[in-house]
Amino acid sequence: MTRRVPGRLMTALLLAAAAASAEVADVADNGFALKQTVTVSAAPDRAWAALVDVGKWWSSDHTYSGDAANLSLDARPGGCWCEKLPGKAGVEHMTVLFADPGKLLRLKGGLGPLQAMAVSAVMTWTFKPSDKGTVVEITYLVGGYSRGGFKDLAPGVDGVLRSQVERYQRYVDTGKP
């Protein structure tokens, strides 16, 4: 059975697809590079503020605690993208390497299963003003050792990152992920 997509919904889906792009830019035996680009309808300072408010847009399905409200991002050099867990436990997902509000945020760390692997990973968010708001580009570079290589791992990491970036874009544009 084929479902017909209503015209307004189809238009929204096409606009979202046009406003976002994602790709596994490179994959090799020793790592991979991902690139995501979205345009949000906000000035760079507001797009930055939304990024730092990570607990509001990140999916609870991709947390250790099961609740994205436990996430925080201290956007200063040495700051932590951390998650509170029950009791006194916690997770450091990434560490801030470079912060220039409204322009660039660079973090170091392996998200999800990458954290337990012998890899080094750097994620960079850049914010560039445009006539439609802000173009936000996210790169995630991962290198190191992975049993079996990175060929099969890269698309899965790309898919999870893409879904989070889409949630971020919706949060900036609508206030809801």
In which band, very low, low, confident or very high, does the pLDDT at 19 lie, cut at 50, 70 and 90? very low
Q: Identify the pLDDT of residue 141.
A: 98
Q: Identify the pLDDT of residue 22.
A: 74
Tokens representing 93 are: 């997902």
User: What confidence tens digit (pLDDT) does each residue in 38-88 have?
Assistant: 999 999 999 999 999 999 999 999 999 999 999 999 999 999 999 999 999
Strand order across the beta sheet in which 90-100 lies: 20-28, 31-40, 133-145, 118-130, 104-108, 90-100, 80-84, 71-73
Which residue has better confidence, 5 or 153? 153
Q: Which residues contact 37 (CB under 8 A, 6 or more apart)?
A: 20, 21, 22, 135, 136, 137, 138
pLDDT over 70 at 104, yes or no: yes
- Tell me, yes or no, if the pTM score tops 0.95: no
Give me the percent of the chain exceeding a pLDDT of 90: 85
For the domain bounded by 21-174, which CATH number is listed? 3.30.530.20
pLDDT over 50 at 132, yes or no: yes
Domain ranges of the chain: 21-174
Q: Identify the pLDDT of residue 177.
A: 95
